Chain A
Amino acid sequence: SQQGEEDPQALSIQEGENATMNCSYKTSINNLQWYRQNSGRGLVHLILIRSNEREKHSGRLRVTLDTSKKSSSLLITASRAADTASYFCATGLTGGGNKLTFGTGTQLKVEL
Protein backbone atom coordinates (compact mmCIF):
# COMPACT_ATOMS: atom_id res chain seq x y z
CA SER A 1 0.00 0.00 0.00
CA GLN A 2 1.03 3.64 -0.30
CA GLN A 3 3.49 5.15 2.13
CA GLY A 4 1.27 8.19 2.37
CA GLU A 5 -2.48 7.89 2.40
CA GLU A 6 -4.71 10.93 2.46
CA ASP A 7 -8.04 11.14 4.13
CA PRO A 8 -10.65 11.92 2.98
CA GLN A 9 -10.35 10.92 -0.66
CA ALA A 10 -12.77 13.67 -1.61
CA LEU A 11 -14.02 16.76 0.19
CA SER A 12 -16.65 19.27 -0.85
CA ILE A 13 -17.12 22.52 1.07
CA GLN A 14 -18.55 25.99 0.66
CA GLU A 15 -16.39 29.00 -0.02
CA GLY A 16 -15.26 30.58 3.22
CA GLU A 17 -15.20 27.32 5.15
CA ASN A 18 -12.04 25.63 6.34
CA ALA A 19 -10.78 22.43 4.73
CA THR A 20 -8.78 19.82 6.61
CA MET A 21 -6.95 16.96 4.96
CA ASN A 22 -5.02 14.26 6.72
CA CYS A 23 -2.08 12.13 5.73
CA SER A 24 -0.79 8.99 7.38
CA TYR A 25 2.48 7.27 6.64
CA LYS A 26 4.25 4.14 7.72
CA THR A 27 7.99 4.62 8.16
CA SER A 28 10.45 7.12 9.59
CA ILE A 29 10.70 10.35 7.61
CA ASN A 30 13.06 13.28 7.14
CA ASN A 31 10.32 15.59 6.01
CA LEU A 32 6.76 15.71 4.77
CA GLN A 33 5.56 17.95 1.98
CA TRP A 34 2.18 18.97 0.63
CA TYR A 35 1.51 19.60 -3.04
CA ARG A 36 -1.47 20.83 -5.01
CA GLN A 37 -2.46 19.72 -8.48
CA ASN A 38 -4.99 21.52 -10.60
CA SER A 39 -6.69 19.46 -13.25
CA GLY A 40 -4.40 18.82 -16.19
CA ARG A 41 -1.41 20.47 -14.58
CA GLY A 42 1.78 19.50 -12.80
CA LEU A 43 2.05 19.44 -9.03
CA VAL A 44 2.89 22.62 -7.20
CA HIS A 45 4.73 22.59 -3.89
CA LEU A 46 2.82 24.18 -1.00
CA ILE A 47 4.75 23.61 2.18
CA LEU A 48 7.50 21.45 3.69
CA ILE A 49 7.69 20.42 7.33
CA ARG A 50 10.74 18.68 8.72
CA SER A 51 10.60 15.77 11.12
CA ASN A 52 11.73 17.93 14.05
CA GLU A 53 8.95 20.48 13.45
CA ARG A 54 5.40 20.20 14.73
CA GLU A 55 3.59 23.01 12.99
CA LYS A 56 4.15 25.33 10.11
CA HIS A 57 2.16 28.17 8.54
CA SER A 58 2.15 29.69 5.10
CA GLY A 59 -0.56 32.21 4.34
CA ARG A 60 -3.90 30.43 4.69
CA LEU A 61 -2.18 27.07 5.06
CA ARG A 62 -1.39 25.38 8.33
CA VAL A 63 0.40 22.05 8.48
CA THR A 64 0.91 19.91 11.54
CA LEU A 65 3.11 16.87 11.95
CA ASP A 66 2.84 14.22 14.63
CA THR A 67 5.72 11.79 14.20
CA SER A 68 4.52 9.62 17.09
CA LYS A 69 1.28 8.97 15.22
CA LYS A 70 2.95 9.11 11.81
CA SER A 71 0.40 11.59 10.60
CA SER A 72 0.09 15.10 9.23
CA SER A 73 -2.76 17.45 8.52
CA LEU A 74 -3.19 20.31 6.09
CA LEU A 75 -5.66 23.03 7.00
CA ILE A 76 -6.77 25.57 4.43
CA THR A 77 -8.60 28.43 6.11
CA ALA A 78 -11.23 30.65 4.50
CA SER A 79 -11.29 28.52 1.37
CA ARG A 80 -11.85 29.99 -2.07
CA ALA A 81 -13.17 28.49 -5.28
CA ALA A 82 -9.62 28.73 -6.64
CA ASP A 83 -8.50 26.23 -3.98
CA THR A 84 -10.38 23.52 -5.86
CA ALA A 85 -7.69 20.96 -6.71
CA SER A 86 -6.18 17.66 -5.63
CA TYR A 87 -3.86 17.79 -2.65
CA PHE A 88 -1.07 15.28 -2.09
CA CYS A 89 1.20 14.61 0.81
CA ALA A 90 4.69 13.34 0.06
CA THR A 91 7.21 11.87 2.45
CA GLY A 92 10.97 11.99 2.30
CA LEU A 93 12.02 8.81 4.00
CA THR A 94 14.93 8.51 6.37
CA GLY A 95 17.76 7.05 4.31
CA GLY A 96 15.69 7.45 1.19
CA GLY A 97 17.94 9.98 -0.46
CA ASN A 98 16.23 12.82 -2.24
CA LYS A 99 13.16 10.94 -3.42
CA LEU A 100 9.62 11.51 -2.22
CA THR A 101 6.81 9.01 -1.94
CA PHE A 102 3.44 10.51 -2.81
CA GLY A 103 0.10 9.60 -1.34
CA THR A 104 -3.13 8.99 -3.17
CA GLY A 105 -4.44 12.53 -2.84
CA THR A 106 -7.53 14.33 -1.61
CA GLN A 107 -9.81 15.93 -4.17
CA LEU A 108 -11.07 19.22 -2.78
CA LYS A 109 -14.00 21.04 -4.30
CA VAL A 110 -14.85 24.50 -3.03
CA GLU A 111 -18.26 25.66 -4.15
CA LEU A 112 -19.48 29.21 -4.40
Chain B
Amino acid sequence: DAGVIQSPRHEVTEMGQEVTLRCKPISGHNSLFWYRQTMMRGLELLIYFNNNVPIDDSGMPEDRFSAKMPNASFSTLKIQPSEPRDSAVYFCASSFELNEQFFGPGTRLTVL
Protein backbone atom coordinates (compact mmCIF):
# COMPACT_ATOMS: atom_id res chain seq x y z
CA ASP B 1 0.00 0.00 0.00
CA ALA B 2 1.28 3.47 -0.81
CA GLY B 3 0.12 4.89 2.49
CA VAL B 4 -1.83 8.12 2.83
CA ILE B 5 -1.29 10.32 -0.20
CA GLN B 6 -1.54 14.09 -0.05
CA SER B 7 -1.26 16.69 -2.75
CA PRO B 8 0.20 19.11 -3.34
CA ARG B 9 3.24 18.75 -1.09
CA HIS B 10 3.89 22.46 -1.19
CA GLU B 11 1.59 25.32 -2.00
CA VAL B 12 2.43 28.99 -2.15
CA THR B 13 -0.44 31.33 -2.81
CA GLU B 14 -1.45 34.91 -2.32
CA MET B 15 -3.90 36.17 0.24
CA GLY B 16 -7.45 35.95 -1.00
CA GLN B 17 -6.89 32.98 -3.28
CA GLU B 18 -8.70 29.68 -2.95
CA VAL B 19 -6.61 26.72 -1.82
CA THR B 20 -7.61 23.08 -2.18
CA LEU B 21 -5.71 20.31 -0.44
CA ARG B 22 -6.29 16.70 -1.39
CA CYS B 23 -6.01 13.40 0.43
CA LYS B 24 -6.30 9.75 -0.49
CA PRO B 25 -6.56 7.55 2.60
CA ILE B 26 -5.33 4.00 2.94
CA SER B 27 -7.70 1.53 1.31
CA GLY B 28 -9.96 -0.12 3.86
CA HIS B 29 -9.67 2.62 6.45
CA ASN B 30 -12.99 4.11 7.50
CA SER B 31 -11.87 7.22 9.37
CA LEU B 32 -10.12 10.25 7.89
CA PHE B 33 -8.67 13.18 9.77
CA TRP B 34 -7.43 16.63 8.76
CA TYR B 35 -4.88 18.28 11.06
CA ARG B 36 -3.01 21.57 11.01
CA GLN B 37 0.41 21.98 12.57
CA THR B 38 2.12 25.26 13.45
CA MET B 39 4.90 26.15 15.84
CA MET B 40 2.57 28.32 17.89
CA ARG B 41 -0.43 26.02 18.17
CA GLY B 42 1.04 22.57 17.70
CA LEU B 43 -1.03 19.86 16.05
CA GLU B 44 -4.74 20.67 15.85
CA LEU B 45 -7.52 18.43 14.64
CA LEU B 46 -9.65 20.35 12.16
CA ILE B 47 -12.24 17.77 11.19
CA TYR B 48 -12.71 14.05 10.97
CA PHE B 49 -14.92 11.76 8.92
CA ASN B 50 -16.18 8.30 9.72
CA ASN B 51 -17.51 6.27 6.79
CA ASN B 52 -17.38 9.45 4.67
CA VAL B 53 -19.61 11.38 7.08
CA PRO B 54 -18.24 14.41 8.97
CA ILE B 55 -18.37 13.55 12.65
CA ASP B 56 -16.58 16.40 14.38
CA ASP B 57 -15.75 19.70 12.72
CA SER B 58 -15.35 21.69 15.91
CA GLY B 59 -11.72 22.38 15.07
CA MET B 60 -12.45 24.09 11.77
CA PRO B 61 -11.29 27.66 12.39
CA GLU B 62 -14.04 29.50 10.57
CA ASP B 63 -16.33 29.50 7.59
CA ARG B 64 -13.43 30.01 5.24
CA PHE B 65 -12.53 26.37 5.79
CA SER B 66 -14.56 23.51 4.37
CA ALA B 67 -13.91 19.80 3.93
CA LYS B 68 -15.59 17.12 1.89
CA MET B 69 -15.31 13.38 1.51
CA PRO B 70 -17.34 12.38 -1.54
CA ASN B 71 -16.21 8.75 -1.35
CA ALA B 72 -14.07 6.42 0.72
CA SER B 73 -10.92 7.11 -1.25
CA PHE B 74 -10.82 10.89 -1.50
CA SER B 75 -11.14 13.99 0.63
CA THR B 76 -10.52 17.69 0.13
CA LEU B 77 -9.86 20.58 2.48
CA LYS B 78 -10.62 23.96 0.98
CA ILE B 79 -9.71 27.42 2.23
CA GLN B 80 -11.50 30.31 0.58
CA PRO B 81 -10.34 33.04 0.82
CA SER B 82 -6.91 32.20 2.21
CA GLU B 83 -5.12 34.45 4.69
CA PRO B 84 -1.47 34.62 5.82
CA ARG B 85 -2.41 33.17 9.21
CA ASP B 86 -3.50 29.98 7.44
CA SER B 87 0.15 29.23 6.67
CA ALA B 88 0.91 25.87 8.24
CA VAL B 89 1.53 22.23 7.46
CA TYR B 90 -1.73 20.39 6.86
CA PHE B 91 -1.78 16.67 7.50
CA CYS B 92 -4.30 14.08 6.50
CA ALA B 93 -4.46 10.82 8.41
CA SER B 94 -6.58 7.70 8.19
CA SER B 95 -7.37 4.81 10.49
CA PHE B 96 -9.58 1.80 10.83
CA GLU B 97 -11.87 2.30 13.80
CA LEU B 98 -10.19 3.40 17.03
CA ASN B 99 -6.73 2.23 16.12
CA GLU B 100 -3.47 3.83 15.13
CA GLN B 101 -3.63 6.66 12.64
CA PHE B 102 -1.48 6.72 9.56
CA PHE B 103 -0.34 10.15 8.51
CA GLY B 104 0.37 11.48 5.08
CA PRO B 105 3.51 13.52 4.33
CA GLY B 106 1.63 16.80 4.72
CA THR B 107 1.07 19.87 2.59
CA ARG B 108 3.13 22.90 3.49
CA LEU B 109 0.96 25.92 2.78
CA THR B 110 2.36 29.42 2.57
CA VAL B 111 -0.05 32.30 2.10
CA LEU B 112 1.68 35.54 1.17
Residue in chain B with minimal CB distance to A30: B98
**Which residues of A in the span 6-57 have a Cβ within 8 Å of any Cβ on B?**
30-31, 33, 35, 41-45, 48
Which of B64-72, B80-88, B100-108 lies on the face that meets chain A?
A: B100-108
- Residues of A in contact with B, size category: 20 to 34
Cβ-defined partner of B48 (8 Å) among A2, A98, A104, A105 = A98
Residues in chain A near residue B4, CB distance under 8 A: 42
Residue on A with the closest CB to B3? A42
Would you call the interface of chain B mostly helix, strand, loop, or mixed?
A: strand
Q: Is the CB of A99 within 8 A of B42?
A: no
Give the number of residues in B that approach A within 8 Å (Cβ atoms).
24
Q: Give the contacting residue for A101; candidates B45, B98, B104; CB below 8 A.
A: B45
Q: A31-B98, A42-B91, A48-B99 are in contact. Are A98 and B31 (CB under 8 A)?
A: yes
Q: Which chain B residues have a beta carbon within 8 Å of chain A's beta carbons?
A: 4, 31, 33, 35, 42-43, 45, 48, 50, 55-56, 91, 93, 95, 97-106
User: Roughly how many angstroms separate A41 CA and B104 CA in the complex, as a whole number?
Assistant: 8
Q: Are A98 and B42 in contact (CB under 8 A)?
A: no
Would you call A2 and B42 a contact (CB within 8 A)? yes
Contact: A105 with B42, CB < 8 Å? yes
A interface, CB within 8 angstroms of B: 2, 30-31, 33, 35, 41-45, 48, 88, 90, 92, 97-102, 104-105
Q: Is the CB of A99 within 8 A of B100?
A: no
Q: Which residues of B contact A104 (CB under 8 A)?
A: 42
Q: Is there an interface contact between A45 and B102, defined as CB atoms closer than 8 Å?
A: yes
Top 10 closest pairs, chain A to chain B, by CB: A42-B103, A45-B100, A98-B31, A102-B43, A43-B103, A98-B98, A99-B48, A42-B105, A104-B42, A42-B106
